[in-house]
């Protein structure tokens, strides 16, 4: 079922589409030839899943309606605590136009630069410190919880590869409504309620960092 993305032998034929719907690029769902840029889209989905700790589209059916919405620009939820420079990269990977997505080489170069300059760039450093503090609080508040009980997945959310025989999907476009990216609050993402002391701790640490 797998072949090189630059294999053009069957470029004029629409092949059956297999995969896991939430991770698939809209142009692949539509039936266009698979390219390396489709993997960049999937990378953006996985990147957001890792940073948000939110499984993409886990609360809705993975059906024709979702495929239509993805082609119209719907994307998974983005947690508000994720640093903006990472959110911008995720959204660039999610661009409906494959040619607008970064290449694998560009992704590597961008991430390498951020890794090397994190402590030299005050804005990046501040965002990352705040992100790590929120993650620490999440783990502290969830230490006695059963993780499997906190994750509720829709019975029609399917995360195994299957034939996706969707017909009459619209041409992939970017949504003009930024709210379609469904930025969610920290407490909603982590399924916890931050206490006043937790929030004060984050704010105080930020003030100390700035001073």
83-93 pLDDT, tens per residue? Answer: 998 999 999 99
The pLDDT score that the predictor gives to residue 11 is 44
Superfamily grouping for domain 17-142+152-164? Transferase(Phosphotransferase) domain 1 (1.10.510.10)
pLDDT in tens, 51-93: 988 899 999 999 999 999 999 999 999 988 899 989 999 999 9
Q: Has residue 141 got a pLDDT over 90? A: no
- CA-closest candidate to residue 196, choices 206, 185, 207, 204: 204
Residue ranges per domain, the chain?
A: 17-142+152-164
46/118: higher pLDDT: 46
Q: Has residue 146 got a pLDDT over 80? A: no
210/41: higher pLDDT: 41
Q: Has residue 193 got a pLDDT over 50? A: no
Question: In the chain, what percentage of residues exceed pLDDT 70?
Answer: 71
> Could you tell me whether strands 18-19 and 162-163 are parallel, antiparallel, or unpaired per DSSP bridges?
antiparallel
| CA distances (Å), origin 198, targets 15, 128, 193 | 52, 18, 10
Q: Has residue 194 got a pLDDT over 60? A: no
Q: 0.95 cut: is pTM over it?
A: no
């Amino acid at each position: 079922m797998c072949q090189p993305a630059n294999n053009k032998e069957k470029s004029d034929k629409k092949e059956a589409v297999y995969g896991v719907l939430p991770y698939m690029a809209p142009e692949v769902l539509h039936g266009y030839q698979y390219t390396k840029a489709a993997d960049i889209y999937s990378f953006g989905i996985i990147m957001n899943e890792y940073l948000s700790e939110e499984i993409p589209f886990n609360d809705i059916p993975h059906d024709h309606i979702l495929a239509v919405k993805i082609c119209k620009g719907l994307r998974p939820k983005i947690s508000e605590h994720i640093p903006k420079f990472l959110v911008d990269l995720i959204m660039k990977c999610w661009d409906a136009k494959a040619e607008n997505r970064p290449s694998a080489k560009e992704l590597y170069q961008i991430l390498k630069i951020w890794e090397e300059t994190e402590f030299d760039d005050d804005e990046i450093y501040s965002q990352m410190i705040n992100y790590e503090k929120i993650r620490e609080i999440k783990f502290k508040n969830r230490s006695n919880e059963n993780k499997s009980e906190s994750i509720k997945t829709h019975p029609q959310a399917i995360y195994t590869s299957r034939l996706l025989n969707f017909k009459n999907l619209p041409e992939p476009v970017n949504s003009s409504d930024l709210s379609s990216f469904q930025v969610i609050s920290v407490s909603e993402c982590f399924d916890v309620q931050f206490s006043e002391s937790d929030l004060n701790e984050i704010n105080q640490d930020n003030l100390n960092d700035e001073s």
